[in-house]
Every structure is written in C-alpha cells, then in structure tokens.
C-alpha cells in the first residue's frame, strides 16, 4: 500500500508529503513518548519527477526558519513554519522559497519528517535592511498523530503570532492547566483554617463585641451605650475651635 501511495505522489507539483522515515517514526511512537522537531528549513530547490518520499534533506537548502509552538487537537498537531528576513542575523541576499522541510529526532538520527514544495508558485524573500520592513513567509503544517504523544521543538519558537493564534494557543494549552491549578488552590484554601488570619481576627473581635452587648442587655439591663456622646450632652465642654449652633445642634467652623 505504501509503495502504491508513493507512486501516486511521483511528480508532485504543489503540496507536501510525510517521508518514509517520517512515517516509520510516527508509527512507532507510543503513548507517553515525545516527537521532537529539531529544526525547520526553507530552500530554493525545484522538485522534478522524483518523489520526495525518500528525501533526507531539501533539494537546495538555503536558511533555517522558525515556527509557532505545536498545538495538538483531535489527533492532529498543527503549527506554522515561518521564515523572516531578520532571522539568523538578517538575510544578506534575497532568494526564492520553493520548498521547506520539517526535521525530527529518531533516536540518535535526525530525519526529514515532512517535505513540502511550492511547485510553480515560489515566493521571493527580500534581503533584510536595518530598520526596514521585515519580509515574512508563513506555511501552515498539520500532521496526524496520537494525542498521547507529546510534540516538542528543539529550537526557540520565534514566529510572530496573530491574535487568533494567541487565543487558540492559550485556550488549548494554558487554560486547562490554569483551571486545574485554580481548582487545586481553591481546595487547599478551603481546607486551610488559617487562610485569612486578619479576617478571622476581625470577625472574632466583632463577634466578641456583639456577645458582650448581648450580655449587658440581658444580665445588666444596659440598653444604651454609656460612653456615647451626642450633641444633646455637650454641656460643660469648652470648644477650642468652631461655634456651637444650638438650634441646628452642630459645630460650625
């Protein structure tokens, strides 16, 4: 079956292919293992009649690219290969991107996992100019893989991300972890008797004061606060500031 599929893909003009070594690697990965993507490359090679199924490298590799962090969802890992003219110290001379590849670790060996060609539609990247516009080329990649296999990259994810990509990444990758952490923190908080020491002190003091007032009312027949001072009881007090308005029962300064 694999041989027939490869023959059908010979002479591919525009598209991608998982290489034979890539298929073997994906097939032997089991739950709990990692797929380590080591690098992504862009090149200027033109694919002829040969099949890229047995490629170990690009036809004409030019520069190392970067990507977004891989996101796994519903049995598919997705990321975006990105090449920018400011990478690797800045592109000195423009070139045409007509192919790109994704490399992965297979034991001690690095293999070409994924090969893609732009066929008759190569894209030109202009040389980088300091403080000038950055030329950016982006290519989405999707690889079917078990959700139980962790996909990691061995290089910094330096790709620019759109607002939608950031939202999707946060929703899929960070939100579940955040909710689990919050659930754990709330549980620990609820089980901790000393979670709010200051609040507990205030509540205890307020409760004690209420109990004392209740005892005064029940046992000592104290209905009012004997220390309460109102404007009705200011006789004998000398004001050092302001004037006492007897009619309005207030101090005027």
pLDDT above 90: residue 43: yes
CB-CB contact of 66 with 133 (8 Å): no
Question: Tens digit of pLDDT for each residue in 81-139?
Answer: 999 998 888 899 999 999 999 999 999 999 999 999 998 889 999 998 877 788 999 99
Burial 47-57 (b: 16+ CB within 10 A, else e): beeebbbebee
What local confidence, expressed as pLDDT, does residue 118 receive? 92
| DSSP string over the chain | -HHHHHHHTTT--SEEEE-HHHHHHHHH--TT-EEEEEEEEEE-----SS-GGG-SS-SSEEEE-EEPPPEEETTEEEEEEEEETTGGG--SS-EEE-EEEEEEEETTEEEEEEEEE-TT--EEEPPP-TTSPPPEEEEEEEEE--TTSEEEESS-------HHHHHHHIIIIIHHHHHHHHHHHHHHHHH-TTS-HHHHHHHHHHHHHHHHHHHHHHHS---S-TT---GGG-TTPPPSSSEEETTTTEEE-
Confidence of residue 45 (pLDDT cuts 50, 70, 90): very high
pLDDT confidence bin for 1, thresholds 50/70/90: very low
> Of 5-14, 82-91, 212-221, which range is least confident?
5-14
Which one, of 79, 67, 82, lies nearest residue 169 by Cα?
Answer: 79
The whole-number pLDDT of residue 244 equals 74
Prediction pTM value? 0.58
Instruction: Identify whether the C-beta of residue 136 lies closer than 8 Å to the C-beta of residue 82.
Output: yes
The pLDDT of residue 3 is: 39
How confident is the model at residue 169, as a pLDDT?
A: 61
């Amino acid at each position: 079956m694999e041989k027939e599929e490869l023959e059908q893909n010979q002479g591919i003009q525009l598209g991608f292919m998982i290489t034979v070594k890539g298929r073997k690697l994906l097939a032997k990965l089991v739950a709990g293992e990692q797929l380590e993507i080591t690098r992504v490359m862009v090149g200027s090679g033109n694919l002829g009649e040969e099949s890229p199924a047995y490629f170990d490298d690009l036809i004409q590799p030019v520069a190392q690219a970067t990507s977004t962090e891989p996101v796994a969802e519903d049995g598919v890992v997705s990321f975006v290969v990105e090449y920018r003219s400011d990478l690797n110290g800045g592109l000195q001379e423009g070139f045409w991107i007509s192919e790109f590849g994704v490399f992965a670790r297979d034991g001690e060996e690095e293999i070409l996992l994924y090969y893609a060609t732009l066929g008759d539609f190569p894209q030109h990247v202009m040389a980088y100019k300091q403080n000038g516009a950055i030329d950016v080329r982006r290519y989405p990649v999707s690889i079917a893989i078990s959700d139980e296999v962790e996909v990691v990259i061995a290089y910094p994810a330096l790709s620019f991300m759109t607002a939608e990509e950031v939202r999707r990444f946060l929703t899929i990758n960070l939100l579940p972890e955040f909710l689990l952490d919050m659930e754990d923190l709330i549980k620990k908080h609820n089980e901790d008797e000393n979670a709010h020491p200051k609040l507990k002190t205030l509540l205890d003091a307020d409760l004690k004061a209420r109990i004392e007032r209740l005892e005064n009312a029940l046992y000592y027949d104290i209905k009012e606060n004997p220390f309460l001072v109102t404007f009705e009881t200011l006789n004998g007090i000398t004001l050092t500031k302001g004037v006492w308005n007897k009619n309005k029962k207030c101090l005027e300064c």
